[in-house]
Chain A
Amino acid sequence: MTARAIAPMSQPERRAVLPFRTQTAIFIRMLAIQGSWNYEILLGNGIGFCLEPALRLLPEGIHSQHFKDALARESKYFNAHPYLASVAVGALARAELDGEPPERIERFRTALCGPLGSVGDRLVWAGWLPFCSLLALLVFGLGGGPALVLLVFLGSYNIGHFALRLWGLRTGWKHGLRVAAALGNPVLRNGPQQIARLAALATGLAIPMALHRVIGPGRVLLGGVLVGVVIGALVLVRLQGRIEGWRLALFILGAFALFSIAH
């Protein structure tokens, strides 16, 4: 991505151009946007941290009151999905460099939190991540070795991951405070449902295949295992909200280990 690529050339009244070096610095910092995540200001300091390279471009420089006011404003409470926070970072960089009124920027920050959180959660955490995980488990189940399985998982996941962050930064910068309309992008609107369907398909394929490979010496008991999985899954679905599956797995395995020691 070049500086020209994200320069808002179609809006001549807004002259701010983000140099390539600044974009790179922002992008790298965005990978650490949750570095100081906490229960008080959540992503707030991370947003300030990511925006700082852009704020250095303010005409008065880093020792000016303008710079300090902008950094203080941007380091306050903020909540969003970490990848889609790039939309906010791009838009806020644009707003600060365009000299938008502080009250407007603060209102914008508040309004953007909800949509960037819910869209990102559905698209990435409940869609792309399980899909890529199940895809890799399928490759594993089909006999893939360590390098191939890791390549499939990390490759597919991070293509989506980095593309989303880049798109967010670019879109945010391009639209500035009018970026909300860009969140109506078909990928964000319909993507979660489509990915969920693909992930459901991958689940059906991957679970028996992965099970078949992990089971090793227990393969002679495969029929019983399959029946057990169906019953176990039904029980977990019935218990939903009362106990998490991974905790139940730990309790049962722990009990089984104790039984095996005493046996």
Chain B
Amino acid sequence: MWIDLLPIALLGGLLGLDVVSFPQAMISRPLVAATLAGVLIGNAPSGLLVGAALELVALDTLPFGASRYPEWGSAAVVGGAIFATHPSHPAGAMEMAIVASLSTAWIGGWTMVKHRERNAQWAGRRRAALDAGARGSVIELQLLCMTADFFRGALLAALSYAVFAPLTTLIITTWGTDARLSRAVLVTIAASVAAGAAWKIFHGVSGARWFFLGGLAVGLVIMAATR
């Protein structure tokens, strides 16, 4: 586990940076971040699986302006890595990976607020130089804040993985609920959040509910056919 810590921290830092600072190409979305973490551990399909479940939940939070939202980049790295280290997918592994991710995303959202407050302090200290149009100060502030954001994400991912990876291993050995039921509960929760989020986003658009119902009908038919 410990040997994975540094690469996970680096990946967490990079993907945490993508959330807001650079380049916002959405490599920090759970689907991508968890899969990349899986690649890092050597089990990309497991990362993808947990990433898909997290992506359903993440549809509930979109990065609108100054709103406060969970930080999915570093969080999904932690969840993807934890699940990928249990390739046989024992009961409780995915559930704990998701709990780890959601907890980390919550803390990550808080660290982003603190980071933004720190950015404001740094900008305040350079106020005179910025008001005077000092080129060096403008560039320095930008680079300083981005570097701090990278370390924020890296530290968050490393600490969270260090806490949740051994905890998950421990909990799996005592997990008493049937694997099928566990997974069914998890999927029900994730899909409920996704459906609720979709309604929140699209219900005001004329005709959108018919598109949704049409898609749902086709989706259910395909699902039944491939069962």
> Which A residues are closer than 8 A to B by beta carbons?
31-32, 34-42, 45-46, 48-49, 52, 62, 67-73, 75, 79, 81-83, 117, 121, 125-126, 129-130, 132-134, 136-137, 140-142, 145-146, 149-150, 153-154, 157-158, 161, 193, 196-222, 224-225, 228-233, 235-237, 240, 244-250, 252-254, 256-257, 259-263
Min CB gap A28→B, angstroms: 9
B195 contact from A136, A154, A207, A212, Cβ within 8 A: A207
Q: List 7 A-B contacts (CB under 8 A).
A: A45-B123, A117-B65, A150-B31, A196-B202, A235-B196, A250-B103, A260-B182
Min CB gap B214→A, angstroms: 6
B contact patch SS: helix
Q: Which 7 pairs from chain A and chain B are nearest by CB?
A: A204-B215, A232-B192, A68-B133, A236-B196, A263-B176, A218-B184, A204-B216
The reply to whether B26 and A158 form a contact with Cβ atoms under 8 Å apart is yes
Please report which residues of chain B, range 118-141, place their CB below 8 angstroms from some CB of chain A when the two chains form the complex. 119-120, 122-124, 130-135, 138-139, 141
Given A126-B201, A218-B180, A249-B190, are A205 and B130 neighbors across the interface (CB < 8 Å)? no
B87 at the interface (CB under 8 A from A): no
Compute how far the CA of A43 lies from the CA of B94 in the bound complex, rounded to whole angstroms: 38
Stretch with Cβ within 8 A of A (4 or more), from B7-15, B39-47, B155-163: B39-47
Min CB gap A150→B, angstroms: 6
Min CB gap B66→A, angstroms: 7
Most B Cβ at <10 Å: residue of A48, A129, A149, A245: A245
Min CB gap A31→B, angstroms: 4
A240 contact from B200, B205, B207, B216, Cβ within 8 A: B200
Compute how far the CA of A195 lies from the CA of B189 in the bound complex, rounded to whole angstroms: 26
Compute how far the CA of A114 lies from the CA of B103 in the bound complex, rounded to whole angstroms: 34
The reply to whether A121 and B65 form a contact with Cβ atoms under 8 Å apart is yes
In addition to A75-B138, A210-B191, A250-B102, 5 A-B residue pairs with Cβ atoms within 8 Å of each other are: A35-B143, A52-B138, A73-B133, A205-B218, A260-B95
The reply to whether B219 and A154 form a contact with Cβ atoms under 8 Å apart is no
A245 contact from B23, B196, B217, Cβ within 8 A: B196
Compute how far the CA of A199 lies from the CA of B131 in the bound complex, rounded to whole angstroms: 44
The reply to whether B25 and A38 form a contact with Cβ atoms under 8 Å apart is no
Compute how far the CA of A191 lies from the CA of B59 in the bound complex, rounded to whole angstroms: 20
Compute how far the CA of A257 lies from the CA of B31 in the bound complex, rounded to whole angstroms: 23
In the assembled complex, which residues on chain B have CB atoms less than 8 Å from the CB atom of A257?
92, 95-96, 99, 171
B29 at the interface (CB under 8 A from A): yes
The reply to whether A39 and B182 form a contact with Cβ atoms under 8 Å apart is no
The reply to whether A218 and B95 form a contact with Cβ atoms under 8 Å apart is no
B5 at the interface (CB under 8 A from A): no
A225 contact from B27, B143, B184, Cβ within 8 A: B184
The reply to whether A146 and B184 form a contact with Cβ atoms under 8 Å apart is no
The reply to whether A38 and B202 form a contact with Cβ atoms under 8 Å apart is no
Given A205-B218, A250-B99, are A222 and B201 neighbors across the interface (CB < 8 Å)? no
